Amino acid sequence: MVSQELIKELRQIISEEYKINLDLNETSQVAREFSSLFDLLAEVNYENTKKSNNLINQVENSSDSAIIKQAEEPNSLL
């Protein structure tokens, strides 16, 4: 929920920056849409970060396995 004070501030910004006059209900809807958008962006960022971390872990684990396997081969260090 967005406070009435923030809605009024958003209304003023929209009016000054975009020369669009909205009533409080319309401005409240804009505020809710912004809030939903940022919630979605945060969720997408979180999921992308999880995927990136998983990929990094997979690469690190596969590199570690390859190094260990190579070291276990009898002539690999010669």
Residue 76 and residue 78: Cα distance in Å, rounded? 6
What is the mean predicted confidence (pLDDT) over 41-65?
84
Q: Which two three-digit tokens encode residue 36?
A: 């939903």
Q: Tell whether pTM > 0.85.
A: no
The amino acid present at 23, given as its one-letter code, is D
Q: Which residue matches tokens 């260090």?
A: 77
For residue 33, pLDDT beyond 80: yes
